[in-house]
Amino acid sequence: MQDIRYAVRALLRTPGLTLTALLVLALGTGATTAIFSVINGVLLRPLPFADPDRLVQFEPMGVLDFKDSRERLRSFESMVAFHAVNKNLQDAREPERIAAVAAERGLFDVLGAQPLIGRTFGPNDATNVAVVGEKFWTRRFGANAPLNDRKITLDGEPYTVIGIMRERFQFPYRTATIEVWIPEELPRTANRFQRIDAAIGRLKSDVTIAEARAELRTIGQTLERLYPNPGDMDAITVIPLTEAVVGRSRPALLTLFGAVAMVLLIACANVTNLLLARSQARTHDVAVAACLNPARRAMKLDPITVLRYE
């Protein structure tokens, strides 16, 4: 406690140096902490899905290529196509433009996501059902409103709400806040050049992504032999969903984190220089304190020796 009181008195005697050191350290640690929080949320924290390491994304891919590949691929437990859409929400309140996802019915099964209330799409569900986000439900109907086949109107079409997803669930992940998910089937008739916006799949537990890529290349060669005008299967890439989400932002975030880390090091060096300069002005105080120490006085050290020892 004596050391703490002495340190406080010493800091109060030099308010300029104290404020400067605090400001320099605050700027360095504040910037580093802020950027690390972003990196932790984007790069380090796993995606909030079941076994996210087994989720992959296909890009780009044709509708027929996707159907044929899904029938032949043995590396995946399941695959679904989806695309983001904007919908006009029309009900008794003021109309609202919301972000939605139209996906095949197995989307939530592939992600391993469970609803907070109700259920997700089933194989026998019609296309006029919807799953909504918890924030959307609270904003439009209230947190304690019962499900009870509540209906919403999107672009003039009625949809029955069958489930509510937890607030932390978001897919596509780290994009615009998706508030509604609706089922949609792939077109029954399409040509080899009609494409889907996006597709994801879940690898089997004993399959690596390299093996899945090799199998997809083999299937692509088979389709090229079967069809006179096949799609460009060689252009299809299979990448982990985590990489698809953060791949483009990773270099920029790591570069920014390196920059703020250097700022923190410079701040520490500046504070060290300030303390060294201050210590030169306190050589007399240190010598007197050392001489007054009973243990060292018993050693019969002269002030210069004590100062060198300090």
Taking alpha carbons only, the member of 255, 247, 246, 192 closest to residue 220 is 192
Contact 160, 151 (CB under 8 A): yes
- Split at pLDDT 50, 70, 90, the class of 223 is confident
| φ, ψ for residue 93, nearest 5 deg | -85, -175
Place of tokens 């924290």: 45
Interval 112-147: pLDDT, tens = 999 999 999 988 888 899 999 999 999 888 888 888
Q: Which residues contact 57 (CB under 8 A, 6 or more apart)?
A: 198, 199, 200, 201, 238, 239, 240, 241, 244
Cis peptide before 251 (omega within 30 of 0): no
State the pTM of this model.
Answer: 0.71
Contact 234, 220 (CB under 8 A): yes
Q: Classify each residue of 22-54 as buried b or exposed e, where b means 16 or more C-beta atoms within 10 Å of its C-beta.
A: eebeeebeebbeebeeebeeeeeeebebeebeb
Task: Report the range of poorest mean pLDDT among 89-93, 280-284, 304-308.
Answer: 304-308
pLDDT per position as a tens digit, 279-297? 776 677 667 777 776 655 5
